[in-house]
Structure formats: structure tokens, C-alpha cells
Amino acid sequence: MEVDSVRKHFENKLIISDVYLKCETGEIIGLLGRNGSGKSTLLRIIFGIVSAENKCIRIDGTVKNKTSDILKEISYLHQEQFIPNYFSVKKAISLSIDYQIMNEFLDDYLIQDILYKKVSQLSTGELRYLEIKLVLYNPSKFVLLDEPFNGLSPIMIEKVIQLIQKNTSKKGIIITDHDYENVIGIATQLLLMKDGKIYTVKNKMDLIEKGYLSQNSI
């Protein structure tokens, strides 16, 4: 997947300036940046739910700028809840997961613990974990994860990291989260959004030089 020439103004301020990034299956791209740097906006533009003055999305060399085409190729975990509260967990899973991989999906004590609950009965962490797993088990080639670690317990974070790594064998994943330690730990490539542009970074020293972290972070 190539995301090219993305340009976006918001209230006359340029928040994304001719951004380019490339994600291949087998890669986990960690997208870091301070609040307001445009990370979430970029993911929404890629997914097609926010407009941009300019963008070009290519998948396997073919331009995919229609939202209907994007939906077949890309899954997106946004920060807001997407499963209706009146659903049961079991119904949400049955509507989302192919029966051929259902047993694999259900072979998870965190899912077994909530399987017979209503979505409205789930804790913030339980709901987030369910949504992350549903998105990762979608048949799409690419996955956009916006703040997946937010609201999760340490055990759930560990499980989510395992899920991401497991699914990377057949997917390309872009993850953005303020929990930069876990993003750095899991990413095969690190990018930083600053002043509307994307910079390649390699480690914490690069993040300090770019003003994302302080010297005290080392």
C-alpha cells in the first residue's frame, strides 16, 4: 500500500503536507506524533472517511481512491466504539468472523470470558480488546490501528501485541499510539509526524532530536 501526496487543511491551517508512506504486508509501521500532529486525520483520510485536498492510495500498484474499493483492502480501528451496545458479543463475532477461522478466534480466554455478555456490559478494556481482535481478523490486507493500547490493562496490551505480531505474516499494519514504548517495541519501521510532514526515525535519540521526547526519556 502506497499513500501519496496527501494534503489537508483544517480551518486554514495546513495539518498534512504532501505526505507519502509505504506499507507492505509483513510490516508494522509505528506512526508517532504529538497531539494535533495529524496522525488520526491521516488514518481517516487513508480509510476514506475524511476528505483531503489531495491524496493517492495505491494497493498493489492500482489506484484505490474510492471508499468502496478501500473498504475491501483496508480495515480501520478508530478511537470511537463501533460495535452497537445492544449486540451480544457472540453476535458481533458471528457477523464479523468467517466460520473457517471461528475456532481460532474463539480460542482465547479473554474472549471466552465475555462471549455471553452484552456489549453494553463490557468494561472499556474488554470492549477495546474485542474490537481490536475483530479488526485484525478481518480479511483485508492492511490494518490501521488508532490508539489500540488506550484503556487496556497490561495483560491485554501483551495479548494485543501478540495478535498484531501474529497477523503481520499476512497483513501490513500501521499503528499509532501515545504508548510510544510499545509502538517502538513492535514496529518494524518508525515514522514521526511533525509540522504536517512525516520523518523516518530509528530510535529514541531520533525522537529526542525531533522534539517528540525529552532527554529524560532515555
What is the domain-level CATH number for residue 79?
3.40.50.300
Given this model, what pLDDT does residue 174 score?
97
Cα–Cα distance measured from residue 204 to residue 210, given in angstroms and rounded to the nearest whole number: 10
Cβ distance 212 to 218 under 8 Å? no
Is 115 among the domain residues? no
Is 19 among the domain residues? yes
> Which domain covers residue 211, as residue numbers?
2-83+123-217
Per residue in 158-182, pLDDT (tens digit) is 999 999 999 998 899 999 999 999 9
Per residue in 35-60, pLDDT (tens digit) is 888 999 999 999 989 999 999 999 99
Confidence at 5, pLDDT banded by 50, 70, 90: very high
Is 145 among the domain residues? yes
Total domains in the chain come to 1
Per residue in 107-149, pLDDT (tens digit) is 999 999 999 999 999 999 999 999 999 999 999 999 999 999 9
Is 181 among the domain residues? yes
State the chain's mean pLDDT as an integer.
93
Region of poorest pLDDT, from 57-66, 84-93, 158-167, 180-189: 57-66
Cα–Cα distance measured from residue 5 to residue 198, given in angstroms and rounded to the nearest whole number: 12
Alpha helices in 59-191 (DSSP H): 67-73, 89-96, 102-106, 109-112, 124-136, 154-167, 180-186
Given this model, what pLDDT does residue 11 score?
85
Whole-prediction pTM: 0.93
Given this model, what pLDDT does residue 218 score?
61
Is 172 among the domain residues? yes
Cα–Cα distance measured from residue 86 to residue 120, given in angstroms and rounded to the nearest whole number: 7
